[in-house]
Amino acid sequence: MNVGDRVGDLSGVDETGAELRLSDLLAKGPLVVFFYPAAMTPGCTRESCHFRDLASEFAAIGAGIVGVSADDTAKQAEFSAKHSLGFPLLADTSRTIADAFGVRRRFGPNKRATFILDRDGTVVARIDSEFAMNRHADKALDALRALG
């Protein structure tokens, strides 16, 4: 999935066990979808908490946030509760969503990547960096501000 591509209407189960549809999330406005390798690890915690810390800035421009990893709902729930994340975390255990976005590795955890989607599901920005975890939220905000 690259800039200009359009995401299909995917669905997944969040940390509470509720099914979320991409179309429902996009109906509320642009969406930031960030993939992280594994909940409860230092880098993914840093990245997720940075999104949490900037959540009011994302909300001010009408954008939603959703995190995705291959962890199960119990692990996602623990991660969200421990860090008071406040946005959905999808438990993509089958890696269907990761496959659709092209971030699944053959072996090991998914790649760390962030996608900014316009309301119609078009990718307007993509951020890739395995080690600059805080860069994802900052660059996503910049892309959304540029989108207007």
Active site residues: 44
Longest dimension (CA), the chain: 38
CA 90, CA 130: separation in Å to the nearest integer?
Answer: 20
Q: Cα(8)–Cα(100) distance, rounded to whole angstroms? A: 8
Dihedral (CA of 92, 96, 99, 105) sign: positive
Helix, strand, coil % in the chain, rounded to nearest 5: 35, 25, 40
User: What is the rounded CA–CA span in Å between residue 125 and residue 137?
Assistant: 12
Contact between 64 and 87 (Cβ < 8 Å):
yes
> Which amino acid type is present at position 138?
D
